[in-house]
């Protein structure tokens, strides 16, 4: 058993070795540290654990005798003394020659949430075959783990590594060395960020993405309609969603301009042997003030908990019709009902069709409340995160939804 500041997966080695005493000090301070377990005489580990109490996180990787990872666990500290078994992923390889994470390998994923919620997905043929998703039948005690004291953690690997009988762990001889390999050390998970939202509304900025590799520049945002929010509560959701709006954001009561980000790009079309220029609209924005954005915050809905998010994931509103909207939350029932009538019943008096080039295609109005709903299209179904731009004083400067996926967005 050895301790370190981190773990390098590529090298399969510790980063910044620690003595047991130094690891205990980091545990007490909530700082991240790694514990690696190796069988006597073996160079590779059979289990590696990363603990970072300040991040409410403990992660475990289990290795087989061929050095392949076969199980991944993510535990989240949600109570003072309990860890939720938030995520478990297991791989079964067809033989010793099969590479790690081979796409056709049998894979099972268990996701658990507080309140007895969760899902169990199975892919016996890996990513190339069918998947079944069921509700896991687990008792409360199987969902949670009592927070162990330093040095008293259970091992998660015996049943996956063919270990028979009891296991006795001893600290490996410790010698202080250099910082270790300079690879990509294991880090606690971080929620997804806003990416290049600031750049998408900064005309003249040159960007590249997986879809627009060159000759892409941010254009002036397209001015859209104005939204009345007399209640001071902005709703962001699919206008055909169920019940209350998924996300609400407090802003001063008022009328606010809406804008659509524009990016222009060009490429040579080999089929027509000509230069093609195109304009895309990757994001929509409600501008609350003219103050510059100094930071971004993920908008959260009821029950959202950042401690539960996996690395790079974000909360948002769900849509099954590639649609979102900005609306006054105080008038949501009336505005949503009129949207349903306009879209489902083709009631010409329920809503106002807008120029689709503005980024917004329909407005519904509650005349009594003098409140609006303005609907916009997204590039597909699924979850779309909502970002609140904050000014230097912490006030809301804008609210942005990225409606199109821009993989690998970078500012040139």
Give tens-digit pLDDT for 292-351: 999 999 999 999 999 999 999 999 999 999 999 999 999 999 999 999 999 988 898 899
CB count in 10 Å sphere of residue 246: 24
Is residue 82 in some structural domain?
A: yes
C-alpha 236/C-alpha 317 separation (Å) is 7
Nearest to 244 by CA among 235, 231, 253: 235
Task: Judge if 268 and 344 occupy the same domain.
Answer: yes
Find all residues with CB under 8 Å of 28, minimum gap 6, and list them.
150
Is residue 404 in a domain?
Answer: yes
3-state secondary structure of 20: helix
The DSSP code sequence of 281-319 is: --EEEEE--SSPP-EEEE---TT--GGGPPTT----EEE
Secondary structure letter of residue 380 according to DSSP:
S
pLDDT of residue 170: 56
Question: Is residue 377 included in any domain, yes or no?
Answer: yes
Residues 244 and 324 grouped into a single domain: yes
Q: Is residue 173 part of a domain?
A: no
Phi, psi values for residue 299, rounded to 5°: -75, 130
> What is the model's pLDDT at position 176?
56
What integer pLDDT is reported at residue 164 of this predicted model? 45
Instruction: Reduce the DSSP state of residue 325 to 3 states and report it.
Output: strand
Which of 143, 161, 179 delimits the end of a domain? 161
Domain identity same for 148 and 225: no
Q: Is residue 183 part of a domain?
A: no
Query: Torsion over CA of 327, 332, 338 and 343, rounded to 10 degrees?
Result: 60
Q: Which of 294, 289, 293, 222 is nearest to 256 (CA)?
A: 289
CB atoms within 10 A of CB 74: 23
Any domain includes 21: yes
Is 234 found in the same domain as 382? yes
Tell me what pLDDT residue 222 has: 94
Shared domain check, 146 and 75:
yes
| pLDDT confidence of residue 135 | 97
- Domain end, chosen from 161, 186, 220, is at 161
Say if residue 127 is in the same domain as residue 240: no
Find, among 132, 128, 93, the residue nearest to 109 by Cα.
Answer: 132
- The end-to-end CA distance of the chain, in Å, is 45
Q: Are residues 27 and 105 in the same domain?
A: yes
Residue 93 in tokens: 């390889």
Q: Is there a domain that residue 31 lies in?
A: yes
Q: What's the domain range around 102?
A: 2-161
Number of C-beta neighbours around residue 284 at 10 A: 27
Give all strands (DSSP E) within 93-174, no chain letters. 106-112, 118-123, 132-134, 144-146
Dist CA 45 CA 275 (whole Å): 55
- pLDDT value for 212: 62
CA atoms of 348 and 62, how far apart (whole Å): 60
Query: Do 76 and 130 sit in the same domain of this protein?
Result: yes
Q: How many angstroms separate the CA atoms of 236 and 108, rounded?
A: 34
* Residues 378, 244 share a domain: yes
Question: Residues 271, 272, 276, CA angle at the centre, nearest 5°?
Answer: 105
Residue 156 CB neighbour total at 10 angstroms: 18
Specify whether 141 is located in the same domain as 210. Answer: no
Boundary-marking domain end, from 108, 134, 161: 161
179 is a domain residue: no
Instruction: Give the total number of structural domains in the chain.
Output: 2
352 shares its domain with 273: yes
Q: Which residues of the chain have pLDDT under 50?
A: 164-167, 174, 180-182
Residues 226, 106 share a domain: no
> Could you tell me if 388 and 247 are in contact, meaning their C-beta atoms sit under 8 angstroms apart?
no
């Amino acid at each position: 058993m050895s301790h370190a500041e981190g773990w390098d997966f590529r090298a399969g080695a510790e980063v910044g070795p620690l003595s047991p005493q130094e690891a205990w000090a980091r545990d007490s301070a909530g700082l991240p540290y790694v514990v690696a377990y190796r069988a006597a005489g073996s160079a590779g580990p059979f289990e590696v654990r990363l603990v970072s109490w300040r991040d409410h996180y403990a992660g475990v990787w289990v290795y087989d005798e061929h050095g392949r990872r076969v199980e991944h666990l993510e535990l989240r500290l949600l109570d003072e003394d309990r860890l939720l078994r938030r995520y478990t992923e297991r791989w079964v390889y067809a033989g010793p020659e099969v590479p790690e994470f081979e796409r056709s390998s049998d894979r099972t994923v268990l996701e658990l949430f507080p309140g007895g919620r969760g899902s169990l997905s199975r892919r016996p043929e890996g990513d190339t075959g069918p998947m079944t998703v069921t509700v896991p039948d687990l008792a409360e005690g199987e969902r949670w783990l009592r927070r162990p004291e330093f040095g008293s953690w259970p091992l998660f690997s015996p049943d996956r590594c063919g270990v028979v009988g009891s296991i006795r762990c001893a600290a490996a001889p410790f010698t202080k060395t250099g910082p270790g390999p300079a690879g990509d050390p294991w880090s606690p998970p971080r929620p997804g960020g806003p990416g290049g939202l600031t750049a998408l509304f900064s005309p003249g900025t040159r960007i590249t993405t997986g879809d627009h590799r060159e000759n892409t520049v941010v254009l002036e945002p397209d001015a859209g309609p104005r939204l009345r929010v007399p209640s001071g509560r902005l709703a962001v959701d699919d206008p055909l969603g169920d019940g209350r709006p998924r996300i609400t954001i407090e802003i001063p009561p008022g009328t606010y301009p809406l804008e659509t980000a524009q990016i222009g790009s060009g490429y040579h079309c080999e089929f027509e042997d000509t230069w093609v220029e195109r304009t895309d609209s990757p994001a929509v924005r409600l501008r609350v003030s003219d103050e510059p954005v100094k930071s971004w915050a993920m908008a959260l809905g009821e029950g959202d908990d950042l401690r539960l998010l996996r690395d790079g994931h974000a909360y948002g509103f769900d849509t099954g019709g590639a649609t979102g909207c900005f609306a006054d939350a105080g008038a949501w029932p009336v505005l949503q009902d009129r949207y349903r009538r306009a879209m489902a019943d083709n009631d010409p008096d329920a809503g106002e069709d807008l120029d689709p080039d503005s980024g917004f295609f329909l407005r519904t109005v509650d005349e009594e409340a003098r409140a609006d709903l303005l609907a916009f299209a997204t590039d597909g179904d699924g979850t779309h995160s909502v970002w609140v731009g904050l000014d230097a004083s912490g006030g809301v400067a804008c609210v942005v939804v990225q409606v199109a996926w821009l993989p690998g967005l970078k500012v040139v």
